[in-house]
Amino acid sequence: MEYNNNQQEQQVISLPRIGDPAPAFEAETTHGTLQLEDFKGSWVILFSHPADFTPVCTTEFIAFQEIADDLRKLNTELLGLSVDSVHSHIAWVRNVKEKMGVELTFPIIADLNKDVAKKYGMIMPGESTTETSRAVFVIDDKQIVRAVIYYPLSTGRNMPEILRLVKALQTTDEHGLATPANWQPGEMAIVPPPKTQEEADERAASDEFECKDWYFCKKHI
Ligand code: BEZ
């Protein structure tokens, strides 16, 4: 728990951490009322944006739509959120289609009373008390928070990194391996370091992996 030190808005702000159950919610969206529970069995990218009809957000929504098919192949659904009304979202979605030629097909939460934003710590009072920052929660098929990214209002997010992150997490789950810096699918993964002297000796003698040393081994997957 973290505390907002603005005296007028003394409230507990939840910040779900990696490994925590994703906070449950029911919310009004552009696709009707949805609960987080509806997504059980799929991975979810729950992301917030500051406001509809703003330029950086528009570029982000178009970019999210561009990776939606790739995400779906990874059993991953997009779910946007801002504190705008559902009518504002609908008008913006229609505007993006008309002016930019892109149909936004994923639901967007209308979090007018900030219920979901507060549960997920999406408002950064030091930056803005009225808008959600650019938060991304990667929630797995068991509804556990697996990764969290926060960007400031001024910086649009990087979609290849979000896609890479989902692929890396799913690779970790499937193979029990970690992924190195700048890892891309198809590249070797990292074997978690040994936890005992005995394991270290075994690892050093093993030809199962490509090792630089007992603690630094990679494996083809
Ligand atoms: C934008 O999306 O362009 C934006 C939104 C809030 C603050 C700054 C930029």
Residue 50 CA, ligand 1 centroid: distance in Å: 6
Same domain, 149 and 220: no
Same domain, 129 and 204: no
Q: Determine which of 26-40, 125-139, 196-210 has the lowest per-residue pLDDT on average.
A: 196-210
Cβ distance 52 to 92 under 8 Å? yes
* Of 130, 35, 124, the residue nearest 79 (C-alpha): 35
Residue 158 burial (10 A CB sphere; 0-12, 13-18, 19+):
middle
Q: What is the pLDDT of residue 70?
A: 98
Residue 173 CA, ligand 1 centroid: distance in Å: 35
Per cent of the chain over pLDDT 70 is 94
d(CA 205, CA 211): 10
Same domain, 120 and 221: no
SS3 (DSSP) at 157: coil
Residue 58 alpha carbon, nearest atom of ligand 1: 2
Cβ distance 134 to 49 under 8 Å? yes
pTM of the predicted model as reported, rounded to 2 decimal places: 0.93
Q: What is the DSSP string of 35-98?
A: EGGGGTTSEEEEEE-S-SS-HHHHHHHHHHHHHHHHHHHTTEEEEEEESS-HHHHHHHHHHHHH
**Tens-place pLDDT, residues 139-192:** 999 999 999 999 999 999 999 999 999 999 999 999 999 999 999 999 999 999
Q: Measuring CA to CA, how many Å separate 128 from each of 9, 51, 67, 148, 202?
A: 13, 12, 28, 19, 53
198 Cβ partners below 8 Å, 6+ apart? Answer: none
Q: Tell me, yes or no, if 57 is annotated catalytic.
A: yes
Q: What is the pLDDT of residue 204?
A: 83
Residue 78 CA, ligand 1 centroid: distance in Å: 20
Count of domains for the chain: 2
Residue 11 has pLDDT above 60, yes or no: no
Return the half-sphere exposure (C-beta side, CA atoms, 13 A cut-off) of residue 68: 18
Which of 13, 45, 57, 168 does the annotation list as catalytic? Answer: 57
Residue 131 alpha carbon, nearest atom of ligand 1: 6
Same domain, 119 and 213: no
Query: Domain containing 215 — which CATH number?
Result: 3.30.1020.10
Segments forming the whole domain that contains residue 105: 26-157
Residue 2 has pLDDT above 50, yes or no: no
Same domain, 125 and 32: yes
Binding-site residues, ligand 1, Cβ < 6 A: 50-51, 54-57, 153-154
Please give the order of strands across the beta sheet that includes 210-213.
Answer: 189-191, 216-219, 210-213
Same domain, 149 and 41: yes
Same domain, 216 and 147: no
Residue 203 CA, ligand 1 centroid: distance in Å: 50
Same domain, 194 and 121: no
